[in-house]
């Protein structure tokens, strides 16, 4: 998918040296960030959700998954209205068990974000490693890795993730399902998304491999892993950052989708997707807030991360700086 450069892209940027990590701290990038109000806004939203999720135990009015703190009389309290029995007021209302939705969303975002970050990290490490090796070694290693990538790329991520989940359910004894579910989720999402990284890193590595600094390193006898990690890796990180940012939005959406389909995290440790799945049942009886607020949080999070990714892609793309 291509997008147009943001209107706020810096008008005349000096030629910037390659090496995206160095460039990240460059004033240039910061400048384009500050000049795009939408980007700043999305960064603030992401930051706010991150902090809120991280500090959930401190901020949340109740621990929504400790049955002792729940009062069944509080069930189905409408948002911002006093409960007819207890008189308690909840900002975003409560669900069937009288669970404060605001607290549930805080804890839910925590799971969603954790899984999202872990899955992206896993996919990135796997993809970058395979991409570096494929690009540097070439030959049959390269062919093998890239053919596998091709085959996998012809299937949508959701299908791959579902399949991995199905295998997990068949292999792991049922008693361990709930405990292991979150790790399997991370594994499934990560494994469904490594191809992008591998392809990008491979093509950049192919370009870097024959440059003089790599040849020089090879001549003085630096071992291949060191060359890859110390010399080539920093120079191929630019596009990876962009993919990882957009990948984070995709991973969060995929996680919530899997949880919504009932194959994600167990209900005892709900993510935003699980909350939406549970809330969907109450939609027909008019309790719209149970599904709406987790849904909005998810949308806000995914949209903001997507906007950040779009901006980063344009800002790191020298071709758009004309």
What's the CA gap between 97 and 107, in Å, rounded?
16
User: Which parts of the chain are beta strand (E)?
Assistant: none
Is residue 159 within 8 A of residue 131, CB to CB? The reply is no
Min. distance of Cβ 46 from another protein in angstroms? Answer: 12
What's the CA gap between 233 and 317, in Å, rounded?
18
Strand partners, 94: 100
What's the CA gap between 101 and 75, in Å, rounded?
11
Min. distance of Cβ 158 from another protein in angstroms? Answer: 6
256 binds another protein (CB under 8 A): yes
What's the CA gap between 196 and 204, in Å, rounded?
13
What's the CA gap between 247 and 190, in Å, rounded?
10
Interface segment toward another protein; rule CB under 8 A; list 54-62, 64-72, 202-210, 301-309: 301-309
322 binds another protein (CB under 8 A): no
| Binding footprint of another protein, residue count (CB under 8 A) | 42
Min. distance of Cβ 145 from another protein in angstroms? Answer: 14
Interface segment toward another protein; rule CB under 8 A; list 11-19, 84-92, 125-133, 303-311: 303-311
225 binds another protein (CB under 8 A): no
Which tokens sit at 239? Answer: 């596009």
Task: Give Cβ neighbours of residue 17 (< 8 Å, ≥ 6 apart).
Answer: 23
What's the CA gap between 62 and 80, in Å, rounded?
17
Question: What is the per-residue DSSP string for 94-108?
Answer: B-TT--BHHHHHHHH
Task: Give Cβ neighbours of residue 144 (< 8 Å, ≥ 6 apart).
Answer: none
Min. distance of Cβ 22 from another protein in angstroms? Answer: 30
253 binds another protein (CB under 8 A): yes
What's the CA gap between 281 and 263, in Å, rounded?
17
Strand partners, 100: 94
Interface segment toward another protein; rule CB under 8 A; list 12-20, 183-191, 207-215, 254-262: 254-262
What's the CA gap between 97 and 99, in Å, rounded?
5
262 binds another protein (CB under 8 A): yes
Q: Which of 76, 165, 194, 311 binds another protein (CB under 8 A)?
A: 165
238 binds another protein (CB under 8 A): no
Q: Which of 251, 275, 298, 308 binds another protein (CB under 8 A)?
A: 298
Minimum CB distance to another protein smaller for 155 or for 183: 155
Interface segment toward another protein; rule CB under 8 A; list 86-94, 127-135, 161-169, 223-231: 161-169
249 binds another protein (CB under 8 A): yes
Min. distance of Cβ 234 from another protein in angstroms? Answer: 30
Task: Give Cβ neighbours of residue 197 (< 8 Å, ≥ 6 apart).
Answer: 123, 124, 126, 127, 128, 131, 240, 243, 244
Q: Which of 155, 225, 226, 230 binds another protein (CB under 8 A)?
A: 155
288 binds another protein (CB under 8 A): yes
What's the CA gap between 189 and 229, in Å, rounded?
25
Min. distance of Cβ 267 from another protein in angstroms? Answer: 14
291 binds another protein (CB under 8 A): yes
Binding site for another protein (CB under 8 A): 1-4, 151, 154-156, 158-159, 162-163, 165-167, 169-171, 249, 253, 256-257, 260-263, 276, 280, 283-284, 286, 288, 291-292, 295, 298-299, 302-303, 306-307, 310
């Amino acid at each position: 998918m291509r997008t147009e450069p943001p209107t706020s892209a810096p008008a005349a940027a000096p030629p910037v040296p390659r090496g995206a990590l160095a460039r990240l701290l460059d004033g240039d990038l910061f400048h384009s960030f500050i000049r795009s109000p939408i980007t700043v806004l999305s960064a603030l939203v992401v930051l706010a959700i991150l902090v809120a999720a991280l500090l959930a135990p401190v901020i949340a009015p109740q621990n929504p998954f400790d049955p002792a703190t729940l009062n069944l009389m509080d069930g189905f309290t409408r948002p911002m209205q006093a409960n007819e029995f207890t008189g308690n007021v909840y900002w975003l209302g409560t669900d069937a068990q009288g669970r404060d939705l605001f607290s549930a969303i805080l804890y839910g975002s925590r799971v969603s974000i954790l899984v999202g970050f872990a899955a992206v990290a896993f996919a990135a490490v796997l993809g970058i490693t395979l991409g570096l090796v494929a690009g540097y070694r070439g030959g049959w290693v390269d062919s093998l890795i890239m053919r596998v990538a091709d085959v996998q790329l012809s299937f949508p991520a959701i299908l791959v993730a579902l399949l991995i989940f199905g295998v997990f359910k068949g292999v792991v004894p049922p008693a361990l399902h709930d405990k292991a579910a979150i790790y399997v989720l991370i594994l499934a999402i990560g494994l469904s998304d490594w191809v992008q990284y591998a392809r990008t890193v491979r093509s950049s590595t192919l370009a870097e491999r024959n440059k003089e600094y790599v040849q020089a390193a090879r001549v003085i006898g630096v071992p291949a892993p060191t060359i890859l990690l110390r010399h080539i890796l920093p120079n191929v990180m630019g596009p990876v950052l962009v993919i990882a940012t957009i990948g984070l939005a995709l991973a969060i959406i995929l996680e919530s989708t899997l949880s919504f389909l009932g194959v994600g995290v167990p209900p005892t440790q709900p993510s935003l997707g699980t909350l939406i799945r549970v809330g969907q049942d109450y939609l027909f009886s008019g309790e719209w807030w149970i599904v709406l607020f987790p849904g909005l949080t998810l949308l806000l999070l995914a949209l903001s991360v997507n906007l950040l990714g779009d901006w980063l892609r344009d800002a790191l793309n020298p071709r758009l700086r004309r």
